[in-house]
Amino acid sequence: MTLALKIETRNKVNALCNFAQPYLSQVLEKYMGKKIVKFTPYSGFTAALKKEIQEFRDKLAKEKFRVVFTFNYSSISCEIDTTYRIADRCSVEYVKQYFFVCEFDANTGVLTRKYNGNVFRTDYREEEVVAVRKQIYELERQLSDLKSQICEFC
């Protein structure tokens, strides 16, 4: 049951990311060439953009998804995650997906490029995952056997 639930959750997170990337790109469209990042005391969105981003985060939070933006030197990435309960009902597992949102000028905070390129799979199936895991196990066993045949030379 846990694998099926993990796969179902992965497909949901990926589908949400497939929605979020073009949505965020559309939101950023009107900010091209404008300042979107403030640097004091830490990097963050400017006030006007922050309001739009917060509305997006609040909407997803109601659906039990968390959205975290990470400000790197000159780019912003987004992580969307959620949890699902595992068998004992006392613990949860996280399912996360990352994607880049945009680039900005590291000196001025001006938006220079938007990203909208990733398409994440939303059609994983339990049978597929089990079959690929089995194939990986077999290939790793074969590789180990081959390495042991020439271990003196590795």
Q: Are 109 and 38 in contact (CB under 8 A)?
A: yes
**Residues 87-127: tens digit of each pLDDT:** 776 888 999 999 999 999 999 999 999 998 889 999 999 99
Distance CA 129, CA 70 (A): 30
Mean pLDDT, rounded, for 10-32: 96
User: Is 113 found in the same domain as 71?
Assistant: yes
pLDDT of residue 154 exceeding 80: no
Q: Given this model, what pLDDT does residue 141 score? A: 97
User: Is 59 found in the same domain as 41?
Assistant: yes
**Residues 50-84: tens digit of each pLDDT:** 999 999 999 999 999 999 999 999 999 999 999 98
Domain count, the chain: 2
User: Is 113 found in the same domain as 57?
Assistant: yes
Q: Given this model, what pLDDT does residue 1 score? A: 55
Q: Scan for tokens 């300042």, then name that residue.
A: 35
Distance CA 96, CA 114 (A): 21
User: Is 132 found in the same domain as 59?
Assistant: no
| Average pLDDT along the chain | 93
pLDDT bracket for residue 153 (50, 70, 90): confident
Q: What are 61's two structure tokens?
A: 């939070």
Domain that holds residue 145: 124-154
- Please tell me the pTM assigned to this model: 0.87
Q: Are 53 and 31 in contact (CB under 8 A)?
A: no
User: Is 93 found in the same domain as 35?
Assistant: yes
